[in-house]
Amino acid sequence: MRRIGPPWMRPVVCLVGLLIAYYAFPLGFGSPPATAASMILTAVGLGLLGWTLVTELLQTRKGGETRSTRVLIMLLILLVMTFSLVFFLVNKVDADQIAGLNTRTDALYFTVVTMATVGYGDVHAEGQLARGLVIGLIIFNIVVVASLYREHTSRREKAP
């Protein structure tokens, strides 16, 4: 298989695909044309994600790095978008779970602020389910950051 584009292209396509799927993901069934357009856009976004993942897997099978920075970035993007959608859906089901979370952008903001451990406080978990999810996200985030740190420090030690 021929290499397609520069190495940084796959994480960018992954991000674009996930953003499209995230914002287009249908939450209800309104008018049939709007629902169909939403479903098509979600499929396009997931298709872009699928393309990047398959391309990375094929690159790995050819002997590429299995834990490259590019792969970790794509996994991090996937994690952020997944948790954002979960927080948004949890708050849609029970509006008392996360204070100040009204839109998908609020959910994305809340996820990034939580992962960065900044915690501005304007959007925060109030319900037990939301707090449990935040705890899971923080623990997972620590593991990912530790993995990235270990990966980069081990590469420096191995370099001549």
Per-residue pLDDT tens over the stretch 21-36: 889 888 776 778 887 8
Tell which wins on pLDDT, 69 or 43: 43
- 62 DSSP assignment: T
The pLDDT score that the predictor gives to residue 160 is 58
Inter-residue contact 91 to 107 (CB < 8 Å): yes
More confident residue, 26 or 111: 111
Contact status, residue 77 vs residue 144, Cβ threshold 8 Å? no
* Contact of 82 with 141, CB cutoff 8 Å: no
Spatial CA neighbour of 14 closest among 60, 46, 61: 46
Q: State which of 8-22, 36-50, 125-139 shows the largest mean pLDDT.
A: 125-139
- The strand ranges marked E within the chain are 98-99, 124-125
Which band of pLDDT confidence, cut at 50, 70 and 90, is reported for residue 150? confident
Measured CA to CA, the distance from residue 126 to residue 97 in angstroms comes to 5
Choose among 152, 124, 57: nearest CA to 144.
Answer: 152
**pLDDT in the model for residue 1:** 43
Q: What is the pTM of this model?
A: 0.73
- Contacts of residue 76, Cβ cutoff 8 Å, sequence gap at least 6: 144
